[in-house]
């Protein structure tokens, strides 16, 4: 032990004061006072740590230590961290610590350090049964809230549709026309190309199997019925869900983050009438038309695969097609399209309308909108398949 440390030990034992450029330390009969001086900043942190360690506060005879501002001039987060760490080590050694005389900006640094320390401190272990119960309670509450929100959303959609039918002047036709352009007209090219290529793939795979039995002619029947009844409407709905459903969720979600929806409510504009109904009506109008275009493109793909690859004469292809009762198959595919549109529109706008104010909320809700829309489209398609089978269509 150096002579300086010996003198400090003697001073502490004799309850006298010790002073330096960074502190003044005095021990009284019942408590000690540690008054900060000078600059407690990151520039002096290494020297401050050495000074505090050499002082040996844990060896004083009293159990109460008060940290005061004293002649403190500059103070930053590093100085606050050293002060907090010193106080915590004394508490673990059995001392009672207190703070007095610090200015508001000094206390702010200390509070920030305490907050960071509490945030990084690991929570105490929880029994597995308690953790499981808490998780089940949170999941149940979340499901109930989700069910309640969706029920209220469905009621709002129904009420909005009824109000629009009773008072068409309130409906925003210009906004609907814009969404028809974005969700319908702009998607014609990709929908037609998708249906054409899917028909080519179905025809190629079908003829590979049917050729084993010399029944290539039935490739026309298989691909035409598949496109008109199922693939045309289903794939179109899935594409629109990924294209327009995600756009609805993102657009309305960004408006929620920017508080534009709240501003509309303040100005007396019903956000539901302005944002939700035009988008849903646009999809209800567009999706059957897009489905029809997909059916036509798919039939063209069927003709190409039949005539170009199977060498089936064009008149025979037309004859096989007309023998399938195409009107019924067209009807089956088109009836489902408005219901697909309602699912996509309601889920996309719902996810956007209930975006939380956080950084990743828009992306998360946009992804959920696409996934939920595709899932519900497949569910609705399965339900209609059962119904049409029972009806004999």
Of 185, 212, 381, nearest to 287 by C-alpha is 185
Q: Which residue has the higher pLDDT, 150 or 377?
A: 377
Give CA–CA dist 290/189, Å, rounded: 10
Structure tokens at 149: 């929100």
Q: Residue 114: what are its φ and ψ, rounded to 5°?
A: -60, -40
HSE toward the beta carbon, residue 85, CA cutoff 13 A: 12
Interval 256-278: pLDDT, tens: 888 888 888 888 888 888 888 89
Q: Are 191 and 293 in contact (CB under 8 A)?
A: yes
Give CA–CA dist 248/71, Å, rounded: 61
**DSSP letters along 31-58, please?**
-EEEEEEEEESGGGHHHHHHHHHHH-GG
pLDDT at 26: 80
pLDDT at 290: 94
H/E run at residue 67:
strand 64-75
User: Confidence class of residue 120 from pLDDT cuts 50, 70 and 90?
Assistant: low
Interval 6-47: pLDDT, tens: 555 555 545 457 777 777 888 777 788 888 888 888 887 788
User: Confidence class of residue 376 from pLDDT cuts 50, 70 and 90?
Assistant: very high
Give CA–CA dist 101/78, Å, rounded: 19
Q: Name 34's bridge partners.
A: 25, 67
Note the CATH architecture for domain 3-120: 2-Layer Sandwich (3.30)
The most confident of 21-25, 56-60, 113-117, by mean pLDDT: 21-25
Give CA–CA dist 361/257, Å, rounded: 9
Q: Residue 360: what are its φ and ψ, rounded to 5°?
A: -100, 10
Report the length, in residues, of the chain.
Answer: 393
- Listing from the earlier edge strand, what are the strands of the sheet with 17-19? 17-19, 23-27, 32-40, 64-75, 96-100
Q: Residue 39: what are its φ and ψ, rounded to 5°?
A: -110, 115
User: What is the mean predicted confidence (pLDDT) over 100-119?
Assistant: 72
Give CA–CA dist 73/22, Å, rounded: 10
Of 286, 200, 199, 177, nearest to 239 by C-alpha is 286
Averaged confidence pLDDT in the chain: 83
pLDDT at 1: 45
H helices within the chain, ranges in order?
3-13, 45-55, 77-92, 104-120, 128-166, 173-183, 188-210, 218-225, 232-240, 246-257, 260-266, 271, 277-308, 314-322, 326-353, 361-391
Interval 87-101: pLDDT, tens: 888 787 778 888 887
Q: Residue 359: what are its φ and ψ, rounded to 5°?
A: -65, -40
Question: What is the share, in percent, of the chain residues with pLDDT greater than 70?
Answer: 93
Q: Which residue has the higher pLDDT, 63 or 175?
A: 175
Q: Are 346 and 336 in contact (CB under 8 A)?
A: no
pLDDT at 138 over 50: yes
Domain residue limits, the chain: 3-120, 147-391
H/E run at residue 26:
strand 23-27
* Threshold 0.85, pTM exceeds: no
pLDDT at 380: 93
Q: Which residue has the higher pLDDT, 282 or 29?
A: 282
Place of tokens 């956007």: 352
Give CA–CA dist 183/186, Å, rounded: 6
3-state secondary structure of 110: helix
User: Confidence class of residue 240 from pLDDT cuts 50, 70 and 90?
Assistant: very high
Place of tokens 């327009």: 244
Please give the torsion angle defined by the CA atoms of residues 214, 219, 222 and 223, in that order, rounded to the nearest 10 degrees: 160
Interval 176-205: pLDDT, tens: 899 999 888 999 999 999 999 999 998 888
User: Confidence class of residue 123 from pLDDT cuts 50, 70 and 90?
Assistant: low
User: What is the mean predicted confidence (pLDDT) over 326-341?
Assistant: 90
pLDDT at 118: 62
Question: What is the share, in percent, of the chain residues with pLDDT greater than 90?
Answer: 21
Of 89, 281, 306, nearest to 175 by C-alpha is 281
pLDDT at 16: 56
Structure tokens at 252: 């309305």
């Amino acid at each position: 032990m150096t002579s300086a440390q010996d003198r400090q030990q003697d001073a502490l034992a004799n309850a006298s004061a010790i002073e330096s450029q960074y502190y003044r330390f005095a021990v009284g009969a019942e408590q000690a006072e540690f008054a900060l001086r000078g600059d407690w900043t990151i520039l002096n942190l290494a020297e401050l740590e050495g000074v505090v360690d050499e002082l040996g506060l844990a060896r004083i005879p009293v159990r109460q230590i008060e940290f005061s501002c004293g002649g403190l001039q500059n103070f930053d987060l590093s100085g606050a961290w050293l002060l907090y760490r010193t106080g915590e080590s004394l508490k673990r050694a059995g001392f009672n610590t207190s703070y007095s005389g610090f200015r508001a900006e000094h206390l702010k640094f200390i509070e920030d350090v305490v907050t960071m320390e509490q945030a990084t401190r690991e929570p105490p272990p929880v029994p597995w049964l308690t953790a499981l119960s808490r998780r089940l309670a949170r999941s149940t509450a979340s499901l109930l809230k989700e069910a309640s929100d969706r029920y209220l959303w469905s009621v709002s959609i129904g009420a909005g549709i009824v109000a629009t039918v009773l008072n068409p002047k309130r409906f925003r036709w210009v906004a609907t026309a814009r969404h028809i352009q974005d969700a319908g007209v702009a998607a014609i090219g990709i929908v037609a190309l998708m249906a054409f290529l899917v028909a080519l793939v179905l025809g190629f795979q079908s003829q590979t199997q049917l050729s084993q039995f010399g029944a290539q002619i039935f490739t026309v029947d298989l691909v035409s019925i598949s496109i008109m009844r199922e693939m045309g409407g289903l794939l179109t709905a899935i594409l629109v869900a990924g294209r327009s459903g995600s756009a609805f969720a993102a657009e309305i979600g960004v408006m929620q983050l920017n508080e534009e929806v709240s501003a509309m409510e303040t100005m007396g504009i019903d956000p539901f009438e302005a944002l939700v109904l035009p988008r849903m009506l646009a999809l209800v109008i567009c999706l059957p038309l897009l489905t029809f275009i997909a059916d036509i493109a798919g039939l063209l793909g069927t003709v190409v695969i039949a005539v170009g690859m199977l060498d089936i004469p064009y008149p025979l292809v037309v004859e096989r097609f007309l023998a399938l009762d195409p009107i019924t198959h067209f009807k089956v595919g088109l009836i489902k399209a408005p219901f697909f549109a309602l699912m996509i529109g309601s889920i996309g706008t719902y996810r956007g309308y209930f975006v939380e104010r956080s950084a990743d909320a828009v992306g998360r809700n946009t992804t959920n909108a696409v996934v939920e829309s595709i899932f519900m489209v497949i569910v609705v398609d399965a339900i209609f398949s059962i119904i049409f089978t029972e009806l004999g269509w």
